[in-house]
Structure 1
Amino acid sequence: MFPPAFLTPSSPLPPWLGHVLRTQRGPVRWSAVLRGALAAAPLLGLVLAGHPTAGVPVALGAMFAGINDRPGGRRASVARMGIPALAGAAGLLLGTATAVAAGNEPSLFLLPLVFGLLGLVAGAVSSAGPVASACGTQVMVAAVIGAGMPLPEPGWLRALLFLAGAGWLASLRLALPSSGRPGSGPYLFDGECEAVAAVYTAVAELLVAAGGPRALACRAALTAALDHAQDALSGPRLRRYASSAPERRLHAQYAAALPLAEAATALAWAGDPLPARTAEGPRRLAAAVRTGGPSGPLPAPARGDAGLRALDEALLRAASAFDRPSGQRPRTRRRGACVSLARKAFGAAGREYGIRVALCCAVSTAVAQSLRHDHWYWLPATTVFLVKPDLGPLVSRVLCRAAGTAVGAVVFAVLVVPISGQLALVGLVAVCGALIPVATRHFAAQTAVVTVLVLSLVLLAGEPQAARERLVESLLACATVLLVGHLPLPGQRGHTVRAALDTAVSAAHRYLGHVLDSPEDHTGRGALRRDAYRSLAAARTAIDLSAAELPTVARRTAGSREVAGALERLVDTTTACAVHLGHRSARLPAAHAEALAEHVSALAASVLDVGPDERGRRAYADRRSVPSA
Structure 2
Amino acid sequence: MRTTLRPLPPWLGHALRAQRGPVPWSAVVRGALAAGPLLVAALLAGRPSAGVLAALGAMFAGINDRPGSRRAAVPRIGVPALVGAGGLALGTWVGAHAGSAALVGVFALLGFAGGALSAVGPIASACGTQLLVAVAIGAGMPLPEAGWQRALLFLAGAGWLLVLRSVLPSPSAAGAYRFDGERAAVAQVYAAVAGLVDAAGSPRATAQRAALTAALDHAQDALSGPRLRRFAGSREERRLHAQYAAALPLGEAATALAWAGSPLPARASEGLWRLADAVRTAQPCGPLPAPARSDAALRALDEALLHAAVAFDGPVRGRTRIAPLPVTVSATGPDDQPREAGPQPLHTRPRTPVTALRRVVGPAGREYGIRVALCFGAGAAVAQLLHNAHWYWLPATAVFLVKPDLGPLASRVLCRAFGTVFGAALFAGLAALLPGLAGPVALVVLGGALIPVGTRHFAAQTAVVTVFVLSLVMVGGEPQMALARIGETLLACAIVLCVGHLPLPVPGRGGGAVRMRLTTADEAAQAYVLHVLSGSDDRAGRWTLRREAYRALAEARTAIDLAAAELSPLARHTAGTEDVAVTLEALVDTTTSCAVHLDDTGRVPEQHAERIDALLAELTA
Q: Give me the whole-angstrom Cα distance separating, in 2, the residues matched to 1:238 and 1:209.
A: 41
Gaps of 5+ in 2: 327-348
Could you say which residue in structure 2 is the equivalent of 1:594?
610
How do 1:275-290 residues align onto structure 2 when only pairs under 5 Å count?
A: 275-290=265-280
Could you say which residue in structure 2 is the equivalent of 1:83?
79
Q: 1:125 and 2:117 equivalent?
A: yes
Contact 1:519 1:581 in 2 (8 A): no
How do 1:328-343 residues align onto structure 2 when only pairs under 5 Å count?
A: 328-332=320-324, 333=326, 334=349, 336-343=351-358
Letter in 2 for 1:555: R
Q: 1:74 and 2:91 equivalent?
A: no
Q: Give me the whole-angstrom Cα distance separating, in 2, the residues matched to 1:347 and 1:199.
A: 34
Contact 1:234 1:331 in 2 (8 A): no
Q: 1:158 and 2:150 equivalent?
A: yes
Give the one of 20, 23, 28 matched to 1:28. Answer: 23
After superposition, the Cα gap between the structure-2 partners of 1:223 and 1:335, relative to the gap in structure 1 and judged at 3 Å, is: closer
- Cα distance, 1:135 vs structure 2: 0.4
How do 1:180-195 residues align onto structure 2 when only pairs under 5 Å count?
A: 180-181=172-173, 183=174, 185-195=175-185
Q: Give me the whole-angstrom Cα distance separating, in 2, the residues matched to 1:338 and 1:255.
A: 27
TM-score, length of structure 2 as denominator length: 0.93
Q: Give me the whole-angstrom Cα distance separating, in 2, the residues matched to 1:556 and 1:440.
A: 29
Could you say which residue in structure 2 is the equivalent of 1:488?
503
Q: 1:59 and 2:55 equivalent?
A: yes
Q: Give me the whole-angstrom Cα distance separating, in 2, the residues matched to 1:192 and 1:239.
A: 18
Could you say which residue in structure 2 is the equivalent of 1:519?
536
TM-score, length of structure 1 as denominator length: 0.92
Q: 1:45 and 2:41 equivalent?
A: yes
How do 1:549-564 residues align onto structure 2 when only pairs under 5 Å count?
A: 549-564=566-581
Letter in 2 for 1:251: H
Letter in 2 for 1:558: A
- Cα distance, 1:602 vs structure 2: 2.5
Contact 2:172 2:180 in 1 (8 A): no
Greater displacement, 482-491 / 220-229:
482-491
Greater displacement, 319-328 / 391-400:
319-328
Greater displacement, 262-271 / 482-491:
482-491
1:564-590 per-position Cα deviation (integer Å, ceiling 9, x unaligned): 11111010000000111122x232222
Q: Give me the whole-angstrom Cα distance separating, in 1, the residues matched to 2:32 and 2:419.
A: 21
SS at match of 1:576: helix
Q: Give me the whole-angstrom Cα distance separating, in 1, the residues matched to 2:351 and 2:15.
A: 38
Could you say which residue in structure 2 is the equivalent of 1:382?
397
Q: Give me the whole-angstrom Cα distance separating, in 1, the residues matched to 2:229 and 2:27.
A: 23
Q: Give me the whole-angstrom Cα distance separating, in 1, the residues matched to 2:6 and 2:514.
A: 22
1:495-517 per-position Cα deviation (integer Å, ceiling 9, x unaligned): 11111110111001100000011
Q: Give me the whole-angstrom Cα distance separating, in 2, the residues matched to 1:480 and 1:320.
A: 59
Q: Give me the whole-angstrom Cα distance separating, in 2, the residues matched to 1:247 and 1:409.
A: 46
Contact 1:78 1:235 in 2 (8 A): yes
1:581-615 per-position Cα deviation (integer Å, ceiling 9, x unaligned): 122x232222222222222222333xxxxxxxxxx
Greater displacement, 421-430 / 564-573:
421-430
Give the one of 153, 160, 178 matched to 2:170. Answer: 178
- Cα distance, 1:240 vs structure 2: 7.4
Q: Give me the whole-angstrom Cα distance separating, in 1, the residues matched to 2:248 and 2:130.
A: 36
Could you say which residue in structure 1 is the equivalent of 2:8?
13
Q: Give me the whole-angstrom Cα distance separating, in 1, the residues matched to 2:233 and 2:618.
A: 48
- Cα distance, 1:426 vs structure 2: 1.2
Contact 2:384 2:391 in 1 (8 A): yes
Letter in 1 for 2:161: L
Q: Give me the whole-angstrom Cα distance separating, in 2, the residues matched to 1:254 and 1:295.
A: 14
How do 1:537-556 residues align onto structure 2 when only pairs under 5 Å count?
A: 537-556=554-573
Contact 1:15 1:548 in 2 (8 A): yes
Contact 1:123 1:357 in 2 (8 A): yes
- Cα distance, 1:337 vs structure 2: 3.5
Contact 1:195 1:228 in 2 (8 A): yes
- Cα distance, 1:342 vs structure 2: 2.2
Greater displacement, 50-59 / 337-346:
337-346
Q: Give me the whole-angstrom Cα distance separating, in 2, the residues matched to 1:532 and 1:284.
A: 28
Could you say which residue in structure 2 is the equivalent of 1:304?
294
Could you say which residue in structure 2 is the equivalent of 1:112?
104
Contact 2:509 2:573 in 1 (8 A): no
Q: Give me the whole-angstrom Cα distance separating, in 1, the residues matched to 2:378 and 2:414.
A: 20
Q: Give me the whole-angstrom Cα distance separating, in 2, the residues matched to 1:386 and 1:243.
A: 45
How do 1:101-500 residues align onto structure 2 when only pairs under 5 Å count?
A: 101-102=97-98, 107-181=99-173, 183=174, 185-237=175-227, 242-323=232-313, 324-325=315-316, 328-332=320-324, 333=326, 334=349, 336-490=351-505, 491-500=508-517
Contact 2:62 2:451 in 1 (8 A): yes
Q: Give me the whole-angstrom Cα distance separating, in 2, the residues matched to 1:238 and 1:470.
A: 45
Q: Give me the whole-angstrom Cα distance separating, in 2, the residues matched to 1:492 and 1:383.
A: 24
Q: Give me the whole-angstrom Cα distance separating, in 2, the residues matched to 1:437 and 1:335.
A: 29
Contact 1:93 1:155 in 2 (8 A): yes
Contact 2:231 2:322 in 1 (8 A): no
Q: Give me the whole-angstrom Cα distance separating, in 2, the residues matched to 1:178 and 1:193.
A: 12
- Cα distance, 1:239 vs structure 2: 5.7
Letter in 2 for 1:122: G
- Cα distance, 1:336 vs structure 2: 4.1
Contact 1:263 1:310 in 2 (8 A): yes
Q: Give me the whole-angstrom Cα distance separating, in 1, the residues matched to 2:303 and 2:6.
A: 43
SS at match of 2:433: coil
Letter in 1 for 2:46: G
Aligned length: 589
Contact 2:415 2:459 in 1 (8 A): yes
Q: Give me the whole-angstrom Cα distance separating, in 1, the residues matched to 2:456 and 2:222.
A: 20
After superposition, the Cα gap between the structure-2 partners of 1:472 and 1:197, relative to the gap in structure 1 and judged at 3 Å, is: same
Q: Give me the whole-angstrom Cα distance separating, in 1, the residues matched to 2:473 and 2:434.
A: 15
Q: Give me the whole-angstrom Cα distance separating, in 2, the residues matched to 1:110 and 1:364.
A: 14
Contact 2:231 2:321 in 1 (8 A): no
Give the one of 569, 575, 591 matched to 2:592. Answer: 575
1:531-576 per-position Cα deviation (integer Å, ceiling 9, x unaligned): 0000000110010000010012111111111111111101000000
Q: Give me the whole-angstrom Cα distance separating, in 2, the residues matched to 1:467 and 1:160.
A: 29
SS at match of 2:100: coil
Greater displacement, 242-251 / 594-603:
594-603
Letter in 2 for 1:178: S
After superposition, the Cα gap between the structure-2 partners of 1:386 and 1:592, relative to the gap in structure 1 and judged at 3 Å, is: same
Contact 2:70 2:165 in 1 (8 A): yes
1:353-381 per-position Cα deviation (integer Å, ceiling 9, x unaligned): 11110111111101100110111000000
